[in-house]
Amino acid sequence: MSASTAFTAAIVPAAGLGTRFLPTTKAVPKELLPVVDTPGIEYVAAEAAEAGAERLIIVTSPGKDAVAQYFQPRPDLEKTLADRGKAALLEKVRRAPGLLAVETAIQEEALGLGHAVGCAEPNLRPEDEAVAVLLPDDLVLPTGVLARMAEVRAAKGGTVLCAFDIPRAEISAYGVFDVEETGDPDVKKVNGMVEKPPADQAPSTFAAAGRYLLDRAIFDALKRITPGAGGELQLTDAIALLISEGHPVHVVVHRGGRHDLGNPGGFLRAAVDFALDHPEYGPSLQAWLRERIGSQ
Ligand code: G1P
């Protein structure tokens, strides 16, 4: 198995209520909120496709059909845009459906991230020895870390995760790794993992950053865990169980940027960051921000 063909299925858990974005999420799933003009989940789907995924399994909850619908073609709209000669808009509208094949798995009850990932097991095919999981709250920039993770799995086997070095004061919001050095400063062996530890008990400052390349063994482990942090079935606890049984787990330390789309403050930063780079909106936004901040 070559690194580029290490996985063809990617799971995106998107079943949450989006409480931090209420009241908007009464009607619009948070995964569809636009970062400038493109929903966050399209960036995540594009990242999965770029890394070799052919199928995207969106784990969704009843009433959030719009997330999967977003990836369906809209022939009526395409025809209107084509008739009007709107080639650039047509290209935008076709982009998401053209990325990869999207299917859904339903999580009936919000029992945690581990439970959500487990809900996608029936969607896997016999040949899926590993599966990628991308959390749509996390934008990891630049893209490319999944390909690096696939290389590490090809070399070392087992499960490979993405880690960020996070300030200790913020570490209790994350799954945290107990790590051991390898010869490569950006690849570490994981000896343990703990979900949302108090800062003074965190085994390191390396935190899980929403990108996972999981060996299929994870689904068996997910069936054997009990509720953990927050009373939820945690993916972290299933990974920790595998480690305790001798399953190899490594992290690739990503030194690039990251945005947290899971709360309005982080979402706004991402939107401003992307807008500043946008040829149409960037220059005037920058001028306005300078004036706005200067006048505080
Ligand atoms: C989840 C995971 C956590 C991980 C984080 C990354 O937590 O449980 O291990 O570090 O995503 O964003 P959540 O942010 O959903 O509470």
When pLDDT is cut at 50, 70 and 90, the band that residue 48 belongs to is very high
Residue 173 has pLDDT above 80, yes or no: yes
In a 3-state reduction of DSSP, which class is residue 61? coil
- The closest-lying atom of ligand 1 relative to the alpha carbon of residue 175 is 9
User: What is the Cα–Cα distance from 57 to 121, expressed in whole angstroms?
Assistant: 10
Instruction: Check: CB of residue 29 under 8 Å from CB of residue 70.
Output: no
Mean pLDDT of the chain: 96
Residue 234 alpha carbon to ligand 1 centre in Å: 9
pLDDT for res 23: 98
Residue-level length of the chain = 296
Tell me the pLDDT tens digit for each residue of 189-214.
999 999 999 999 999 999 999 999 99
257 φ, ψ to 5°?
A: -100, 175
Residue 2 has pLDDT above 90, yes or no: no
Measured distance CA(47)–CA(144) in Å, rounded: 8
- Output the CA 244–ligand 1 centroid distance in Å: 21
Q: Does the pLDDT value for residue 1 go beyond 60?
A: no
Q: What is the mean pLDDT of residues 126-134?
A: 97
The residue nearest atom 5 of ligand 1, judged by CA position, is 174
pLDDT (tens digit, 9 = 90+) per residue, 238-255?
Answer: 999 999 999 999 999 999
Contact between residue 182 and residue 204 where contact means Cβ atoms under 8 Å apart: no
**CA 102 from chain center: how many Å?**
15
Ligand 1 environment, Cβ below 6 A: 113, 135, 137-138, 174-175, 195, 207-210, 234-236, 262
Q: Where are the alpha helices (DSSP H) in 96-234?
A: 113-118, 145-156, 217-222
- Cis peptide upstream of residue 75 (ω within 30 degrees of 0): no
pLDDT tens across 5-42, in order? 589 999 999 999 999 999 999 999 999 999 999 999 99
Angle, nearest 10°, between helix axes 264-276 and 282-294? 120
Single-letter amino acid code for the residue at 78: E
Strands 55-60 and 9-13: parallel
The reported pLDDT for the residue numbered 42 is 98
* DSSP three-state, residue 2: coil
Atom 8 of ligand 1 has which residue's CA nearest to it? 175
Q: Around Cβ 95, how many Cβ atoms within 10 Å?
A: 13
Residue 296 — pLDDT band, cuts 50, 70, 90? low
- By most ligand atoms within 8 Å of CB, the mutation choice from 11, 111, 137 for ligand 1 is 137
What per-residue confidence (pLDDT) applies to 6? 83
Confidence of residue 4 (pLDDT cuts 50, 70, 90): very low
Give the separation between CA 31 and CA 291, rounded to whole angstroms.
Answer: 31
Q: What is the three-class DSSP state of 133?
A: strand
Q: What's residue 5's pLDDT?
A: 52
Q: What is the pLDDT of residue 86?
A: 98
**pLDDT tens-place string over residues 228-239:** 999 999 999 999
**Distances in Å between the alpha carbon of 267 and those of 129, 137, 178, 274?**
34, 9, 29, 11
Among 31, 139, 174, 177, the mutation site with the greatest number of ligand 1 atoms within 8 A of its Cβ is 174
Q: pLDDT tens-digit profile of 58-94?
A: 999 998 999 999 999 999 999 999 999 999 999 999 9
> Which ligand 1 atom sits nearest the alpha carbon of residue 209?
6
Q: Which residue has the tokens 């994350």?
A: 174
Confidence tier at 220 by pLDDT (50, 70, 90): very high
3-state secondary structure of 139: strand
